[in-house]
Structures are given as C-alpha cells and as structure tokens.
Structure 1
C-alpha cells in the first residue's frame, strides 16, 4: 500500500466499504423477504387445512368437499383421505410433492415443512398435514413464486449494487482528485522553491478544510522563510556597504590626517637640521597644521558619536534667535562678507539640542562662505510652515552653484565640490561639514537638502519638526522671562 497513490487507496477503500455494506444489506433484505414469503405461504396452507381442505363427513363430501364448486386454486396440491377410504385429490401444477415424510409422521398436525418434488427438476413444496375424526388432509404449495421473487430481488440488488459502486467509485475519484489538488499545488510549489523561486505561493483555499489549512500554513511558512532570506540578504548587503563605507572612511581620514602630519614632520625635520631661517613662521605653520588636525579629529569624533545613535538633548529652541546668533558669528569671522537674515517675530520653536542646531547653521554658513567668491551674498532665512508642522532653516548664496553630480554627493563624507566653486579665506575644509549637518538633522528627526543649478547659486535647507503650540508658547515665555 505504501507504493499505491493516496487517491487510489482512498477510492479502493471506499469501494470495499460500499461493497461490504451492500452485501450485508442484500443478504439481510433477501433473507427477510424470503422469510416473509414463507410466512405468507404457510398462512395460506394453515387457512386451507382449517377451512375448505379440512376433512369432513363423507356424506357431505360431494356437496362441500374439495371437489365441489369451491375447488381450491390451481397452484395448490390437495389430498384428503376420508374415513371410509374416500380419496379426494387436486393438483394442476404438473408436479407432485414428495409427501411420504409427512404421511409417515403419526402426529395429527405436521408442518408446514419443505419437501422436494417427486419428479426430477420439479420445484420445492411447502407442505402441511392436518387430521381429525373424519380423515386426513395434506395441502402443499409449490415455492416457485417464492424462488422467482427471491431470484429477481437478488438480480435487482446485484444490478443496483454494480451501478452504485461504479458511480460511487467515479464520484469518489473525482472528489478525491479535487480535494487533493491543493496538495499537488503544494508539491509543485515546493519543487519551484527548491529550484530557487522563493516568490512562489500555493493558491489560497478554504481554511476550513484540512488541505486548505495545510496550504495556508505552507504559505505562511514560505513568507517567513522569504522574510528571513531577505533579512539575511539585506544584512549582508548592509554589512558589505558598511565595510566598504568604513574602508573608504578610514582611507579618507588617513589621507586627511597624513597631510597635516607630513607638514608637521617636515617642519620639525627642517628645524632639527637648522634649515629654518624663521623659527616663528615655522612654529606658526606647525600650529596651523595641528589646529587643522585637531578640528578633523573633533569632526570625526562627532560623526562617530552620531553613528552610535546616542541620544541628544531636547529642549525648546527659538529658531529666529538661533539664526541671528549664527549670522553674528559668521560676520565676526568674515567681516568682509555679506550675510543677511530673514526671520519671523515671534520666533518659531523646535525641540532640539541648541549647540548642535547652532553647529548645523554655522556649518551651512561656513560652507557658503568657503565655496563662493567674496562678492557673493549669503541669505539666512527662517520659515515656518504650519501646514506641514515644520520649521525651515535655509542658507542661500548667489555663487557658482552645484552640478547634478555634486548635488547627489554633497552630503557624503570627505566630499569636496568641483574646483569651479571658488574657495574663500576659510579654505576648502576637510569635507566633513555637510556630513555633520546631515547626521545632526537626522538625529533631530528632520530632513536636509539642497536646491541648485550651475551658475545660479545654491540653497541648502533644513526642515525640523515644529514644537506643539503649548510647548512653543511655554518655551517662548520661558525664554522671554
């Protein structure tokens, strides 16, 4: 049975059960029918020996006996023996029952019993004997009708059984085929998945059936497996990207640190060799390079701090006052530059870290100062957008602008813009200022971006979530007091 398909096994088992049921029911029905027919024949025989076939006075036999007008039906065999030897017979069947066992029985009443025919090939008979003081009567009836009825019933049962079994087998096969169709789909899906197609799924079916429940559970398992594979692949991609990013970061940081270190080492060797004519100038240059290296290390530590997702302080910050402070600091560092401010009063309020947000604005302003010519003007704006519940800080310049490629990478670490963008007195920087801006804005739950076209300046903007009305009002009152 282990090698036989399940659908064939189910159909064969169902057919065997139906055959067994029909056989048992056929036997019971045939037996009951035969017993009922025997009871009817016995009832007719008993009624005959007690009424019209009962032995009577010989004087009245010719008037009321079996040979009178009240002759019994032709399917009866009747033999009446009267006291004075008068014998009355009646038989139209063509066969005679063998009644010797009944005649030899001394009992007054015998039967009904079943006896064969005297002639070969004759039917069986049901016989009854009854005696009284006037004589003895034997009445028999052939069982031809009983046998024919029983035979017809058996043939009918066989015909019906064959039809029922055939229809049942066909319908069972179709039903099993239909019921097991989802299992075949599960098998096909499993083969497809084994070949690498993780997107395959078993068609959904009713969860109230065993096969449907299995299909749904199989789909759920496939979804979990696919999610696990996707998570592993995403983790691997992220790990590769992080590794590549780290390698690039370390290489860039090493390159940036190597330049001031090489300069410091060079001035130190020249000083040791006595080749430095102006010691004060040499030490000034060494100090400048050390300051540059210190700023680079500070920026790297800042980025490492932000990459670790360490929490930042959050307190109400008035953005207009923050922008005003940043503009004053920029004018103090570059008094020859044009830096203007547009900010609403009263000031919009955000929740954030005041020093970090100040660093965001200073980096954006310093970037504009460093990458635009001295004649270019810089506009710092604060814009509140009640519809989106955000506050925008933006720094716009009318310098040479950015190319599309530069716009995509301007916030990458150690990225420096095209050489066509002029460099101011502050120099080119180390390429980390805008990366720090992006990381700080992300830590505050905001967004950063740039709008620019070559030859039409650049506008760097930062959108931060605005504080609620209650928090903003309380913060404003607190700052005002």
Structure 2
C-alpha cells in the first residue's frame, strides 16, 4: 500500500477507536447516573414508608387512588408489602404499568431488606426492574419500592445508537477529508520523487524546489536533499575532471617518454647495424643516449615525487627552523649565474622596502627545489636581460617569497592551467636539453601545499608574472 493509504488507514483506525471509546464512556456514565438517581429515590421512599406507623398493607391498599400520582411523581411506580412469611400482602401500582410486567413473587422475596438496590426480572420478560427493600416498623413485614428500567435502558440504547450513527458519519466525512488532506500534504514528496527520477536519468543539475518553509520537516528535507545533490554533482564533475586529467596525464607521459626512448633505441640500432664505425660517430651517439637517459631519469624522479606528495605529503618533509631570506639570496646568485646581464633586485614583499625576516619551519631542501623551479621558469620564459625582482618578508601573518619578472606575461586561460602537470604555454617550442616536461610548477605548488602554504600567480599579457610562495610563520600555530 502507498504511504497515503497507510496513513489514512492508521488515522481512521485511531479515530474509530477514539469515537468508540468516547461513546462507551458516555453511555456508561449515563447509565450509572440514572441508576444512582433511581436508587436514591427508591431508598428515600422505602426509608420513609418503613418508618411510618400504621396498619400496614391494609391502610396502603385503602388509599391506592391517592398514592398512584405520588408514585409517578417520586419515580417509584410500584410499592409492595410482604408479610413475615414473604407473601405479598398488599401493593400499590401506577396505573400506567401493566401487572403482567411486575416482578414475580419469588424475585421480590429474594430482595435484601438492607436498603441495597438490586435488579429484578420482569414477569413478562419485557425488561428489568430496580428494587429496594426495608423492614417495616409498625408491623412485621417488608416494604419494597420498585421501578422499571425500560425508560432508562431505552435512553442508554438511544444514546448508543446515536453515537454509532454520528460516529460512522463523522468517520466517513473525516476519512474523505483526510484523503484529500494527505494528498495535498504528500504533494511535496511527489515533487521530490520526480526530481530524484530526473537525477537518476542523468540530469545532475536538477534541484528540489522550495516546497515548504525551512523550519518544517519538508523544508529540512528539501535543504538536505539539495545539499546532497550539490555534493553529488560536484563529485561527478570532479570525477569527470579527474578522468580527463588522467587521460591527459597518460597521453603526456607517453609523449614525453616516446622521444628519448626513440633516440636511445635509434642510436642502439645504428650501432648494431655498424653505421657508427667512426669513433666520433660513436661518441656522438653515446652523448645522445646519455642526454636522453638523463631526461628519462629526471622525468621519472619528478613523477615519483608528485606521486609521493599526493599520497603522503607530510612524509616527504624533514622540517627545521629556517629563514626564507637565505633562499632569496641564493636565488639571486643563481639568476646572476644563468644570465649575468639580467638585473635582479632583492626587496621586501610587494617590492617595498628592504628584504625582511621570514622564519618558517620547513624542509630547506624541498623549498630550494620550489625556488629553483620558479627561478628556472622566469629564466626560460623571459628574454635575456629581463629584470627580475625577488621579494622576501612577512605579509598578513604569512612568510612570503616572491619572484616577479617583467616578461611577456600570460593570458588568463594560460594562468588557469599553468600549475597543471605537463602543461606548457608553448607546446611547439624547441626545448633545450634538460628542460623539464611541464612538471616544475606542479611540483612547486605540491611542495608548498605539503608545507601548509601555496604558490600564487598574478599575471597579465605584457605585464610580466609574479609567483608568490606563502608559508605559515614559525610562531604560527
């Protein structure tokens, strides 16, 4: 069964139980109320008559015409006297009752004379009577006051019938109203179901609309589902991007490995075929093999380093207190060695003031690798003699080392991918021996991330490029 049907059946069952319990309690209380009222009247009458002096039944029978209206008035239409042997000596009966319906003598004699009320059967099985008996004072006998229960039982039966009919009508009306109310209340769930079906069909951009205020259950469910759907969409997008990166990575690795392997294999084939008979040709082939083997070794080491940083970055570091000014000074010397005509300034961050202290807790060898990659990038992608500025110090609670050049810069699209593995801004250029395969900046950012920092780039076409290494200060938590 659907949730709507189950909720409706549960509600109807609870309503039916409530109506049944209410009707039972009401009829029971009404019956007890009528019995208590009748018992009080009967006890009062028998108590009064039993204490009155007189000749007993003879006097009562002589004045029956006077007692008949009084009996109807006080609610005890049958008054009977029993002698000492339990036989009926006299009685007074209301004219509205039939003598055939009177309780039999055997039932009257069984009535206790202590004033307690009991039920007696009618003589014609038409119903039941309520009777109270007390011993008389003026003569040796018993007086019994009795009243039929037909009216009281009819009232209780009428109440039960009315409760049953009205309860059934109310149950039918409320069930119909509940059917439509539940349908309207469950409408948001159907909207959510349609949204889930659309997502299952592949539309990950689908979202559950705002179906209810956020402080309601449906509102909470909507917010939670939309949050989960956003995470799923991002996860699928990241997986697709990762698969795309992996395909490009495999393609780039294959491309980088193909050239040196072809050179090595070609040189070996030439030697095997005897084409390198002259010592000079053999030496030249060996130099080519050594150069390409060096490229393969460097590429392999870079790939292993990146894999290690991806798997356990902290495990690749041997931290110790140090100052980035040392690396900045060494970087300046390295640039002078590569291009003596290149102006290199050593300043503070943003090019303002002198170099400042930048204490960090880091692996100096790994940071030297980062700085070497940044210096090599500046030297390789700017014309000879292009000025370079090296800034070092602290800024906004972080240790800073930046390398800024005045070269051609990069476009926004190039800057977006410059830290990707195997990415090169100019794939068609001829690389000199020893040039990396587009892994230098990727390694630099990974090493900075392992230290809890980052490498940031600010560039634009014609305005040069500034690479900034940021690291936590030594006294920072």
| Contact 2:456–2:467 (Cα < 8 Å) also in 1 | yes
Partner of 2:31: 27
Q: 1:366 Cα shift?
A: 0.8
| Cα pair 1:327 1:339 within 8 Å, conserved | yes
Mapped partners of 1:431, 1:19: distance in 2: 87
RMSD of aligned C-alpha atoms? 5.5
Rounded Cα–Cα distance in structure 2 between residues aligned with 1:324 and 1:119: 128
How far apart are residue 318 of structure 1 and its match? 0.8
SS state at 2:21 partner: helix
- Partner residue of 1:273 out of 252, 268, 275: 275
1:468 and 2:475 matched = yes
Matched, 1:288 2:298: no
State how far apart, in whole Å, the 2-side matches of 1:183 and 1:138 are. 70
Deviations 1:120-167 (A, max 9, x none): 96897999998989xx999999x8xx66x9848964995699479958
- 1:18 equivalent in alignment to 2:25: no
Deviation at residue 442 of structure 1 after TM alignment: 1.0
TM-score (norm 1): 0.66
How many residues are treated as equivalent by the alignment?
Answer: 414
Of 314, 333, 350 in structure 1, the residue corresponding to residue 319 of structure 2 is 314
Q: Using the alignment, how far apart are the partners of 1:250 and 1:129 within structure 2?
A: 117
Structure-1 residue corresponding to 2:401: 393
Deviations along 1:170-224, one digit per CA (max 9) or x if unpaired, are 599979x99xx89995796388448627977998999xxxxx9xx79xx79x969
* Structure 1 pair 453–318 and aligned structure 2 pair: CA distance change class (3 A): same
1:307 Cα offset (Å): 1.8
Q: Relative to structure 1, is the Cα distance of residues 152 and 307 closer, same or farther in structure 2, using a 3 angstrom cutoff?
A: closer
CA contact (8 A) 1:55 1:131 kept: no
Paired residues for 1:253-402 under 5 Å: 253-271=253-271, 272-274=274-276, 278-279=280-281, 280-310=283-313, 311=315, 312-343=317-348, 344=354, 347-385=357-395, 388-402=396-410
* Matched-pair contact (CA < 8 Å) for 1:319–1:350: yes
Contact 1:407 1:450 in 2 (8 A): yes
- Pick closer, same or farther for the CA change 1:423–1:366 going to 2, 3 Å: farther
What is the aligned partner in structure 2 of residue 45 from structure 1?
A: 49
- Normalised to the residue count of structure 2, the TM-score between the two structures is 0.66
Following superposition of structure 1 onto structure 2, how do residues 53-64 of structure 1 map, counting pairs within 5 Å? none
CA distance in 1: counterparts of 2:214 and 2:157, whole angstroms: 40
Q: Is the 8 A contact 1:337 1:375 kept in 2?
A: yes
Q: Secondary structure of the equivalent of 1:323?
A: helix
Deviations 1:211-261 (A, max 9, x none): x9xx79xx79x969986x887876666555444333322221121122122
Which of 9, 13, 27 is equivalent to 2:13? 9
How far off its partner does 1:54 sit? 7.3
Give the secondary-structure state (helix, strand or coil) at the position aligned to 1:5.
helix
Bigger drift between 306-315 and 238-247 goes to: 238-247
Is 1:373–1:424's contact at 8 Å kept on the other side of the alignment? no
Residues in 2 aligned to 1:340 and 1:44: alpha-carbon distance in whole angstroms: 128
Distance in 1, matches of 2:408 and 2:323, equals 32
Q: Residues of 1 paired with 2:256 and 2:306: CA distance?
A: 15
1:139–1:339 Cα change, 3 Å: closer
Query: Alignment partner for residue 91 of structure 1, among 43, 50, 65?
Result: 65
The answer to whether the Cα contact below 8 Å between 1:370 and 1:427 also exists between their aligned partners in 2 is no
Check whether the contact 1:371–1:424 (CA below 8 A) recurs between aligned residues. Answer: no
Partner Cα separation in structure 2 for residue 365 and residue 428 of structure 1 = 13
Rate the CA distance shift 1:202–1:24 in 2: closer, same or farther, 3 A. Answer: farther
Task: Go from structure 1 to structure 2 and tell me whether the alpha carbon gap of 1:266 and 1:140 turns closer, same or farther (over 3 Å shift).
Answer: closer
Residues of 1 paired with 2:263 and 2:456: CA distance?
36
Out of 387, 397, 413, the residue aligned to residue 421 of structure 2 is 413
Structure 2: 5+ residue runs without aligned partners? 72-78, 104-130, 200-206, 349-353
Per the alignment, in what secondary structure is the counterpart of residue 273 of structure 1?
coil
CA 1:90–1:431 in 2, change beyond 3 Å: closer, same or farther? Answer: closer
Q: Does 1:245 align with 2:249?
A: no
Q: For structure 1, which runs of at least 5 residues remain unmatched after alignment?
A: 57-65, 67-76, 80-88, 207-211, 472-481
CA offset at residue 384 of structure 1?
A: 1.0
Alpha carbons 1:351, 1:467 under 8 Å: kept? yes
Equivalents in 2 of 1:273, 1:23: separation in Å? 120
Deviation at 1:19, TM superposition (A): 2.9
Match of 1:442 in 2: 449
